[in-house]
Structures are given as C-alpha cells and as structure tokens.
C-alpha cells in the first residue's frame, strides 16, 4: 500500500509540473490558479494522516492536466491555421473581413 501511495504522489507531482508549464506557455491564469490550488490541497492532504483522499486529488490533477493539454492543442491548431491562411495555402476563415488574426480584435474599428 505504501508503494502505491508513493507512486500516486509521484504521478501527481509530474502532472502538476506539466500543468504549470503549459499554463505558463499559454498564459492561462485560470489553469495556473486551479493548479496551484490543487497543489496546496495536496500538501494539506499529505500533512493530515487521517484523510486518505489521494485518489481524489489524483483525479483532479488528471482533469486539470487534460484541460491544459486540450487548451494547448487548440492554441497550436489556431496558430497553424493562421500561418496557413497568411501564406495563402488555405482559404481565409480567421483573417477574413479585415481581421488580422488576433483573438481579441483590439485593432479592429467598431
């Protein structure tokens, strides 16, 4: 049982590091805050001997990591589509009607 718990702890830490790196790359504040709160909860659970909720925290960690990976995939696909449109290799969908391809449309006149 002790070996299984330490393996779960190692997996939680590996997923936490991956999620933090992805949140920094994407500059995603919600992902970073949820990851930090999951790590703090993991510290609290590790410090308390009576609670054995490490499988629940592992599940939360997996969900946060999957969400980060999905967001990373969306950003990569968006960037790839934008490059393909700007090099005229595919029809314009993102950059049509004067849109420069920025998601926030800061430079478009109202």
Task: Kindly list the averaged pLDDT for each block of 10 residues, start to end, along the chain of length 110.
Answer: 58 83 86 85 71 71 87 88 85 73 48
Q: Provide the whole-model pTM.
A: 0.68
User: Rounded to whole angstroms, how far apart are CA atoms 6 and 83?
Assistant: 44
Nearest Cα residue to 81 out of 101, 106, 108: 101
**Cβ 18 vs Cβ 38: under 8 Å:** no
């Amino acid at each position: 049982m002790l070996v299984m718990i330490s393996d779960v702890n190692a997996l939680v830490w590996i997923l936490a590091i991956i999620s933090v790196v992805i949140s920094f790359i994407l500059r995603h504040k919600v992902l970073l805050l949820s990851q930090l709160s999951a790590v703090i909860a993991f510290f609290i659970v590790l410090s308390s001997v009576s609670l054995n909720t490490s499988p629940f925290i592992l599940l939360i960690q997996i969900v946060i990591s999957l969400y980060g990976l999905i967001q990373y995939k969306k950003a990569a696909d968006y960037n790839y589509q934008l490059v393909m449109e700007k090099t005229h290799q595919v029809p314009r969908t993102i950059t049509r009607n004067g849109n420069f391809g920025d998601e926030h449309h800061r430079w478009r006149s109202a």
